[in-house]
Amino acid sequence: MKLKKRDYKIIKWVTRILATAVIIFGLPFYFGYGNPLPFIKSEYSIWDNVWLTVFLLMFIGLGLGWKFEKIGGFLTSIPILIGFIIGFIVERDLTLHMVIPFLIGVLYIFIGFTKKRIEN
């Protein structure tokens, strides 16, 4: 798929702005959880530990996506997808608020793979 340079830049900057907003909005919740490191406290359930791990990888991926789009996208979207699957198995619930970071990860992947196919 070929993208015009202007469209590519718009998608790239919208994705970066959304990623920054998720990081700024999400980090206080992550650190406000108490001890944000997964598998440290024995009273954390598997559900808590999975999402603490997913959040950690997601924040790293969203930050890396600014420079390395493919790595950031995969590091964001794959853990969230695994969290969706484990959450559905364990809790029979989907955490819909994680759809936004998942879509940002998918957009990072899209940007990374279309970087070389830009029309001037």
The tens digit of pLDDT for each residue in 56-70 reads 899 999 999 999 999
pTM: 0.84
Q: Give percent of the chain above pLDDT 90.
A: 41
Q: What pLDDT sits at residue 17? A: 95
Phi-psi category of residue 39: left, alpha or beta, with phi > 0 → left and psi -120 to 50 → alpha: left
DSSP per-residue letters across 23-82: HHHHHHHHHTTSS-STTSSTT--HHHHHHHHHHHHHHHHHHHTTT-HHHHHHHHHHHHHH
Give residue limits of the domains in the chain: 3-30+46-119
* Mean per-residue pLDDT, 88-112: 87
**Mean pLDDT, rounded, for 28-49:** 75
